[in-house]
């Protein structure tokens, strides 16, 4: 606790993502550059089935992406339900920096990508995603397996040496979701929230359960009222469980938080959630504690 700069990100792929973020921070000195560069690494990871265009598709066989980015001064941008864009996090940043809006969705987000010169990719599923989708179609059962399917979104929160904060979050969302479904990741306050006065939080897991409690905003507000990041994450999980009781055995969600002092917190509904913590000294994977 207390080390700066500090980068936290969800799941195993957080390790290379943290590395990319810390490298960028060193080069550019900007924490928002760092959290963008960090998750761009994951957006290109062909083994990841929940982030980027190689992610698992929706029920129609189409991969649609959600992403958000936020700075501690309140600037933020996001894209939802966007197709054919390799780096939705960079598109979210362009929404933040180049438009009067916070969020663009669907075809409008794609048109904005074209106008901004983002390359538009062919809509072809990766071999891995194709195999998984063909297998899924045999039953077309919509029943995500916690910690296995849908467990790969990257949420990243970071603090530079001066205490400035930023965060990013990017995902292809739930595998085999309904076409048009949007999760928590592009929703400011649900999948991500950052406030330089207090701290930052991000989420992973079943987006619907996270949106219901405004998870990341809730954690930042709890920290504002004096909770530690760990206490705030635990309270968010407690509230998520209370609001999603009926299905809780099939719902996984995990939260990460940092406060202004550089203390960290992590908590999940079920065991199995892990995260990467990167500083200039070390970059390590930590198993989160969980409610159950």
- Shortest CB 130 distance to ligand SD4, Å: 20
Q: Which residues pair with 201 in a beta bridge?
A: 193, 257
Question: Smaller CB distance to ligand SD4: residue 58 or 184?
Answer: 184
Catalytic residue among 153, 170, 171, 228: 153
- CA 239-75-171 angle, 5° bins: 55
Is 85 marked as a binding-site residue? no
- Shortest CB 226 distance to ligand SD4, Å: 28
Active site residue 228: no
- Shortest CB 58 distance to ligand SD4, Å: 11
Query: Do 138 and 128 form a contact (C-beta atoms < 8 A)?
Result: no
**Token pair for 213:** 């409690």
Question: Smaller CB distance to ligand SD4: residue 169 or 220?
Answer: 169
Is 205 marked as a binding-site residue? yes
- Shortest CB 153 distance to ligand SD4, Å: 3
Question: Smaller CB distance to ligand SD4: residue 184 or 195?
Answer: 184
Is 59 marked as a binding-site residue? no
Binding site for ligand SD4 (CB under 6 A): 50, 150-153, 171, 173-174, 183-185, 204-207
Question: Smaller CB distance to ligand SD4: residue 90 or 185?
Answer: 185
Is 181 marked as a binding-site residue? yes
Q: Which residues are annotated as a binding site?
A: 181-184, 204-207
Active site (catalytic) residues: 153
């Amino acid at each position: 606790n207390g080390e700066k700069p500090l980068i936290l990100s969800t799941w195993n792929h957080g390790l290379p993502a943290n590395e990319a973020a810390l490298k960028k921070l060193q080069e550019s000195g900007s924490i928002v550059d760092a959290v963008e560069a960090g998750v761009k690494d994951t957006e290109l990871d062909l083994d990841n089935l929940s982030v980027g265009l190689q992610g698992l598709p929706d029920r129609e066989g189409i991969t649609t992406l959600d992403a958000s980015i936020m700075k501690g001064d309140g600037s933020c941008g996001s894209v939802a339900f966007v197709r054919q864009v390799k780096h939705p996090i960079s598109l979210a940043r362009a929404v933040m920096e180049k438009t009067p809006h916070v969020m663009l969705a669907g075809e409008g987000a794609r048109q904005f990508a074209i106008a901004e010169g983002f390359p538009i990719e062919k809509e072809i599923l990766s071999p891995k995603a194709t195999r998984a989708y063909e297998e899924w179609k045999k039953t077309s059962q919509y029943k995500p397996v916690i910690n296995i399917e849908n467990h790969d979104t990257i949420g990243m929160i970071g603090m530079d040496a001066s205490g400035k904060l930023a965060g990013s979050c990017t995902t292809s969302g739930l595998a085999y979701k309904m076409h048009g479904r949007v999760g928590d990741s592009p929703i400011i306050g649900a999948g991500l929230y950052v406030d330089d006065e207090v701290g930052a939080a991000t989420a992973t897991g079943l987006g619907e359960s996270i949106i219901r409690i405004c998870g990341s905003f809730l954690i930042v507000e709890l920290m504002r009222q004096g909770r530690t990041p760990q206490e705030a994450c635990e309270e968010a999980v407690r509230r998520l469980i209370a609001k999603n009781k009926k299905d809780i055995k099939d719902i996984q969600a995990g939260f990460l938080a940092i406060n202004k002092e550089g203390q960290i917190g992590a908590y999940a509904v079920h065991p199995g959630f892990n995260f990467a913590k990167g500083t200039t000294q070390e970059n390590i994977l930590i198993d989160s504690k969980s409610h159950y």
